[in-house]
Amino acid sequence: MSDKSHSETSGERIAKVMARAGLASRREAEAWIADGRVSVNGAVISSPALNVTPSDSILVDGAPLRSRERTRLFLYHKPRGLVTTHSDPQGRDTIFRALPKGLPRLISIGRLDINTEGLLLLTNDGGLARVLELPATGWLRQYRVRALGRVQQDALDRLRGGITIDGIRYGPIEATLDREQGANVWLTVGIREGKNREVRKVLETLRLKVNRLIRVAFGPFELGDLDDGAVREIETEKLRETLGPEIAAAANADFYAPIAEPVDDTIRARARTSAAPQLGARPSSRKRDEEKERPSQKRWEKRERHRRDRTGGPRPSRPRPK
């Protein structure tokens, strides 16, 4: 059966189905398909432009594709100094390398830049990530901000009408002056769009230079007392109730599928190589040597816990109230 004839049937794109099974991202799945590692109903496919249904037989490297995973959501306290990506061409540390072992394959809902810390939502469901990232969802992203300079509340109040900077329109911003501390001010800032470096750019127009940025809430989910580098999963029933039927339907979330075993990282890594070694192959000796040279996650977390804020500002896991 040709790819074209099968793509005319109902169902979902093959890369989406593979990603929803927790095996790889859509981009990685497309790379696997291009490498001839995926077959549908006994025929190797070469294009991701193919719809499949539950009745189709899908094999990846000769092994049956496992069932769809349950929709899951995790709260992560991102430390400063990590980039929100699976791999970084500059070789910087990433959040996904810092995450504890044993988690499913996760993607971030939006991003926090390298110098921003605090709450980052992680999920195994790409559909949920896309829905929650949309400004139309209307969830407030709340930050605690320390910035060098002085500002009056009336100037902050004017941000409620939105602002245009270098031709880019930023929507309404809720900002409150909490207190002054030496040459700095502490603010609480709420945005609903989350454009690139939005908080920093907007406050620069008020002659405020942000030197600490901590996200403390994303919609109904709060950082609370979650420690630096720690991860906490939202229970399925609470997640279903919090999202509500409208968001769940838009994301095509599934709260009743089984929880799958995590996919071995060595299997995922194969999507980024041109060659396709045997399933379950051990990492190369070079990779093992590199892993030995890295500081252990436990030691890294210990250093982070003892990191001190010389300004006397609040710890990121427990921001001071107004």
Answer yes or no: is pLDDT of 311 > 80.
no
Amino acid at 273: T
pLDDT of residue 20: 77
Is the distance from CB of 298 to CB of 304 less than 8 angstroms? no
Q: Mean pLDDT over residues 40-65, rounded? A: 92
Q: Which two tokens stand for residue 250?
A: 């838009």
Strand 38-40 relative to strand 209-218, pairing: unpaired
Helices and strands in the chain, H and E counts: 11, 17
Is the distance from CB of 218 to CB of 139 less than 8 angstroms? yes
Q: What is the DSSP secondary structure assignment for residue 94, as one 8-state letter?
A: B
54 pLDDT band, cuts 50/70/90, is: confident
Of the candidates 61, 113, 178, 254, the residue annotated as catalytic is 113
Of the listed ranges 34-48, 131-145, 280-294, the one predicted with least confidence: 280-294
Based on the residue annotation, tell me whether 93 is a catalytic residue of this protein.
no
Mean confidence (pLDDT) of the chain: 82
4 pLDDT band, cuts 50/70/90, is: very low
pLDDT of residue 126: 85
Q: Does the predicted model carry a pTM greater than 0.85?
A: no
Rounded Cα distance between 106 and 262, Å, is 10
For the chain, domains (ranges, CATH) are: 3-64 (3.10.290.10)
Distance of CA 64 to the CA centre of its chain: 28
